């Protein structure tokens, strides 16, 4: 889908020109205050009511359109519209709610509200057969305009994602056609246009990144192998001018990544260690490092997982996929910062060569680990990657991982788990999550939890028992991050959906891109 802004005049003049635009669907996000009573509609609604020969007032009188945020109405054009200066084939109205009610809310719930009515509008638009649309906000509030337009573009493109259309090779019958929308124009004015154009570009880049993340997550594990992820990284490097470095088994051995090697040793697929650099900032600026868990399939290893739903463990590389998606977005935006992506990737398989419960391995950091459960493998590949990144003298390191089932129990599919000992970094991520509506919830890392990782035979065990499972996993990682500022995102509950709508979500690409843009 193509997305752009178009400048219209302000006030009645602008509205007239918008109404006179030939389009598949004119979407108007209006202020709730316009509906005080059905006999007297204000602002844009009044003009649209006249042009539709009273259809808007009628809908209001029948209770089909209300002032409350998210209330919407879809009308099909009649012959009379054009004569009255309304050239759209469809009119979609969507209430932004009443300012008085909106302003009483906290900033937090306000953005969530905006996202809700935006989603209602986008879903209604995509459900029509319209090929193009003109989207009009009755008024831009300076505070909201940019995030609103960024979210609108992001949501609209997101609705259009269809795995089957992007990868038709997996079904012998052609995939069913989805929405026809190919062009979305957002009405702006001379004053705001530059900023809004930037917001559109950001929304597009974010959703392009999410599409890549979803593709990688959804691809079957016999296709999306560690080598496939490495190839994808190389392709990104070529397309966006990153520097790519791919380390194989031998180099991983030379680096003495004993924990990573233990996880990969049961698999015939060769492990890969991917380093992708975007040098958008000055040479002396310390980089932000993103580390993504790239287990392309997690059987649990010798501590085998139960069979039911095991296919979903193809999504255990969604941390890696979100890092690649984020790199794609910042590459497209030519972000003026230094960002390094680091991805340890392998499979976790049972075999005669596989690591056993009870094995003791030495991590790259020199610390020894008793592997009590081979299914707690994410932390094993991540701990060596977290040691590796010390060499970059990073400003901050953020790891992203589908790390624990316990995080799904704690937070469900709403928030990703955020763990950090650094309040400033945690605040930045919380705020980026709110801005992008890709939210995180801060979890503890207290020293008291560390005791659960004690081992009788090694420096630490790789599991801490069932209580606070996502916290002890994060505590394990923290033992490898003492040399820099660090945060960990557990995306086990947010990276994909199960059930009928099974599929990767593209999270937390919006969060990470918003964080890097701030």
List the catalytic residues: 305, 379
Residues 328-387 interacting with Mn ion (rule: CB under 5 A): 375, 377
Q: Which stretch binds ligand BES (CB under 6 A): 18-26, 209-217, 329-337, 372-380?
A: 372-380
Pick 267 or 435: Cβ nearer ligand BES: 267
Residue 247: name its binding partner from Zn ion, ligand BES, Mn ion, none (Cβ under 5 to 8 Å by kind): none
Query: What are the angstrom distances between the C-alpha of 5 and each of 8, 134, 197, 349?
Result: 10, 9, 6, 50
Q: C-beta of 316: minimal distance to ligand BES in Å?
A: 4
Q: Which stretch binds Zn ion (CB under 5 A): 170-178, 378-386, 474-482, 494-502?
A: 378-386
Is residue 469 near ligand BES by the rule CB under 6 A?
A: yes
Pick 270 or 357: Cβ nearer ligand BES: 357
Residue 404: name its binding partner from ligand BES, Mn ion, Zn ion, none (Cβ under 5 to 8 Å by kind): ligand BES
Is residue 490 near Mn ion by the rule CB under 5 A?
A: no
Q: C-beta of 315: minimal distance to ligand BES in Å?
A: 7
What is the maximal distance between C-alpha atoms in the chain?
A: 85
Pick 373 or 455: Cβ nearer Zn ion: 373
Is residue 258 near Zn ion by the rule CB under 5 A?
A: no
Pairwise CA distance, residues 357 & 412, whole Å: 29
**Residue in 94, 408, 453, 504 binding ligand BES, rule: CB under 6 A:** 408
Pairwise CA distance, residues 505 & 299, whole Å: 22
Instruction: Work out the angle at residue 514's Cα, subtended by the Cα atoms of residues 246 and 393, and round it to the nearest 5 degrees.
Output: 45
Is residue 347 near Zn ion by the rule CB under 5 A?
A: no
Helices then strands, counting H and E runs in the chain, come out as 19, 22
The closest of 434, 347, 437, 338 to 389, measured between CA atoms, is 338
The closest of 273, 448, 239, 407 to 346, measured between CA atoms, is 273
Task: Classify strands 132-137 and 183-188 as parallel, antiparallel or unpaired.
Answer: parallel
**Residue in 329, 492, 509, 511 binding ligand BES, rule: CB under 6 A:** 492
Bridge partners, 17 (sequence order) = none
Is residue 298 near Mn ion by the rule CB under 5 A?
A: yes
Q: Helices 423-436 and 142-159: crossing angle, nearest 10°? A: 70
Is residue 402 near ligand BES by the rule CB under 6 A?
A: yes
Phi, psi of 314 (to 5 degrees): -70, -20
Q: C-beta of 300: minimal distance to ligand BES in Å?
A: 6
Q: How many residues bind ligand BES (CB under 6 A)?
A: 16
Question: DSSP code of 104?
Answer: T
Is the bond preceding 210 in cis, omega lying within 30 degrees of 0?
no
Pairwise CA distance, residues 508 & 506, whole Å: 6
Pick 150 or 379: Cβ nearer ligand BES: 379
Chain centroid to Cα 317, Å, comes to 14
List of residues contacting Zn ion (CB under 5 A): 295, 298, 316, 378
List of residues contacting ligand BES (CB under 6 A): 298, 316, 373, 375-378, 402-406, 408, 463, 469, 492
List of residues contacting Mn ion (CB under 5 A): 298, 375, 377
């Amino acid at each position: 889908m193509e997305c752009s802004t178009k400048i219209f005049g302000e006030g009645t003049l602008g509205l007239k020109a918008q109404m006179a635009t030939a389009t598949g669907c004119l979407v108007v996000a209006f202020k709730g205050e316009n509906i005080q009573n059905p006999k007297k509609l204000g602002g844009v609604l009044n003009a649209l009511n006249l042009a539709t020969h009273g259809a808007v007032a009628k809908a209001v009188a029948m209770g089909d359109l209300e002032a409350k945020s998210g209330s919407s109405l879809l009308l099909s054009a009649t012959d009379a519209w054009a004569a009255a200066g309304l050239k759209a084939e469809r009119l979609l109205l969507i209430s932004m709610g009443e300012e008085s009610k909106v302003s009483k809310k906290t900033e937090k719930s306000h953005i969530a509200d905006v996202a809700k009515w935006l989603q209602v509008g986008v879903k209604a638009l995509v459900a029509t057969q319209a090929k193009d649309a003109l989207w009009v906000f009755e008024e831009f509030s300076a505070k909201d305009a940019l995030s609103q337009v960024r979210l609108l573009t992001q949501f609209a493109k997101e609705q259009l994602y269809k795995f089957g259309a992007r990868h038709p090779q997996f079904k012998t019958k052609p995939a069913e056609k989805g929405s026809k929308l190919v062009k979305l124009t957002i009405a702006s004015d001379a004053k705001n246009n530059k900023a809004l154009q930037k917001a559109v570009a950001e929304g597009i880049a974010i959703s392009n990144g999410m599409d890549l993340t979803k593709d990688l997550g959804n691809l079957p594990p016999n296709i999306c192998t560690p080598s496939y992820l490495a190839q994808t990284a190389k392709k990104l490097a070529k397309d966006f001018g990153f520097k790519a470095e791919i380390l194989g088994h031998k180099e991983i051995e030379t680096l003495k990544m004993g924990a990573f090697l233990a996880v990969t040793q049961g698999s015939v697929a060769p492990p890969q260690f991917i380093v992708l650099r975007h040098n958008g900032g000055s040479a002396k600026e310390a980089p932000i490092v993103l580390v993504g868990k790239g287990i392309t399939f997690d059987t649990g290893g010798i501590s085998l997982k139960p069979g039911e739903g095991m296919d979903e463990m193809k999504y255990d590389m969604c941390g890696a996929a979100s890092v690649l998606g984020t790199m794609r977005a910042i590459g497209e935006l030519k972000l003026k910062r230094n960002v390094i992506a680091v991805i340890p990737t392998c499979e976790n398989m049972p075999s005669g060569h596989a690591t056993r419960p009870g094995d003791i391995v030495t991590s790259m950091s020199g610390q020894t680990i008793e592997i009590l459960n081979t299914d707690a493998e994410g932390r094993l590949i991540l701990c060596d990657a977290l040691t590796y990144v010390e060499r970059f003298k990073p400003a901050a390191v953020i790891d992203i991982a589908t790390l624990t089932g316990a995080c799904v129990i704690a937070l469900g599919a709403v928030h990703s788990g955020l763990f950090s000992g650094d309040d400033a970094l945690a605040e930045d991520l919380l705020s980026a999550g709110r801005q992008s509506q890709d939210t995180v919830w801060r979890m503890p890392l207290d020293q008291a939890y560390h005791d659960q990782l004690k081992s009788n035979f090694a420096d630490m065990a790789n599991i801490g028992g069932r209580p606070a499972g996502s916290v002890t996993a994060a505590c394990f990682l923290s033992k490898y991050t003492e040399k820099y500022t660090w945060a960990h995102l557990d995306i086990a509950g947010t990276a994909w959906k199960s059930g009928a709508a099974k599929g990767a979500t593209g999270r937390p690409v919006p969060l990470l891109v918003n964080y890097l843009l701030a």
